[in-house]
Amino acid sequence: MRDATLLYSGKAKTIYRSEEPGLLIMEFRDDITAFDGGKKGTMKGKGTYNCCVSTYFFRMLESQGIPTHFMRVLDDHTLAVRALSMIPLEIIVRNIAAGSLVRNLPFREGQVLNPPVIVIDLKDDSRHDPMLNDDLILALDIVSAAELQTIKQTALRINEVLKKFLSQKGITLVDFKLEFGKSDEQIMVGDEISMDSMRLWDTHTGTSLDKDVYRFDKGDVMITYRTVAMQITGGECEEVK
Ligand code: 5GP
């Protein structure tokens, strides 16, 4: 099924063409980056844990009627996904103020955001993913007004599903980033939902359980990724030694 053609290599994943029309191969690599690629490393097993958690969440969303690009697992760090025409937006749902929200705006770290706040950035590394608003998104003709509404409503539904699930595991969903794409005009969740794209705090201790551990040298990244992956999936992930 694997065709050698590399279509795209991002900071932590590689996309290959497959022999099956409409299907792509998404490989989660062990590379880890932060600050627009300013900090880089490799962590053995990281791709496997992110792949496992993404798979778990994609299945959960599908079971709730939320369409995603997930099709099947190929190996512990590789998925078969539906080919989408990707929308160059990063949809960030925030339940608690942290990260760039606190850096750039007068929010207090840990401030509860109720209702949740959606922030949409342009996915454009060369411009450092600038924040957009609805008018700019429509003026740039990235999506239609109806599509934008679908994207936001879907992001909020996903937030409710993930927040509730994670809270039962003792994990607070602070914020997370989604990417969407289109297949035959249907909007679907693409990319990944993993420790690289979520901000997770231990509900009792407030400890970071996500890429902030790497960004800010808060501890052992791999122990954190493995522990949280096992906690989320109930031990379903393959252990990487
Ligand atoms: P912040 O805007 O505070 O840096 O990030 C908010 C949330 O979105 C965090 O959970 C962060 O991991 C995620 N996020 C924002 N931009 C990106 C990005 O370019 N790539 C990934 N993987 N996640 C992002």
CA pair distance 192, 234, nearest whole angstrom: 19
- Per-residue pLDDT band at 175 (split at 50, 70, 90): very high
pLDDT at site 36: 87
Residues 6-51: tens digit of each pLDDT: 999 999 999 999 999 999 999 999 999 999 889 999 999 999 999 9
123 contacts: CB under 8 Å, gap ≥ 6: 88, 89, 90, 129, 179
Q: Is the pLDDT of residue 79 over 90?
A: yes
**Which of 46, 92, 111, 122 gets mutated to test ligand 1 (max ligand atoms within 8 A of its CB)?**
92
Ligand 1, CB within 6 Å, residue ranges: 90, 92, 99-101, 129, 175-177, 196-199, 211
Q: Are residues 89 and 152 in the same domain?
A: yes
- 78 and 170 both lie in a single domain: no
pTM for the full model?
0.96
Q: What is the mean pLDDT of residues 71-85?
A: 97
3 has pLDDT over 90: no
Nearest CA to ligand 1 atom 11: 197
Distances (CA, A) of 83 to 17, 18, 190: 9, 10, 9
% the chain with pLDDT above 90: 97
Q: How confident is the model at residue 2 (pLDDT cuts 50, 70, 90)?
A: low
Q: Which domain holds residue 45?
A: 2-82
Give residue-wise pLDDT tens across range 114-168: 999 999 999 999 999 999 999 999 999 999 999 999 999 999 999 999 999 999 9
**Does residue 152 fall inside a structural domain?**
yes
pLDDT for residue 1: 56
Q: What pLDDT, on a 0 to 100 scale, did the predictor assign at position 37? A: 87
Domain stops at, among 25, 56, 82 = 82
Q: How many residues does the chain have?
A: 241
Cα(173)–Cα(103) distance, integer angstroms: 19
Q: Give per-residue burial for 98-127: e unless 16+ CB within 10 Å, then b.
A: bbebeeeeebeeeeebeebeebbbbbeeee
**Residue 233 within any structural domain of the chain:** no
Residues 72 and 94 in one domain: no
Could you tell me if 6 and 29 are in contact, meaning their C-beta atoms sit under 8 angstroms apart?
no
Question: Do 95 and 74 belong to one domain?
Answer: no
Distance 194 CA to ligand 1 centre (A): 11
- Total domains present in the chain: 2
Q: Are 116 and 94 in contact (CB under 8 A)?
A: yes
Q: Which residue, 47, 62, 82, sits at the end of a domain? A: 82
Residue 236 lies in a domain: no
C-beta of residue 189 within 8 angstroms of C-beta of residue 58: yes
Q: What mean pLDDT, rounded, does the chain reach?
A: 96
CATH number assigned to the domain comprising residue 125: 3.30.470.20
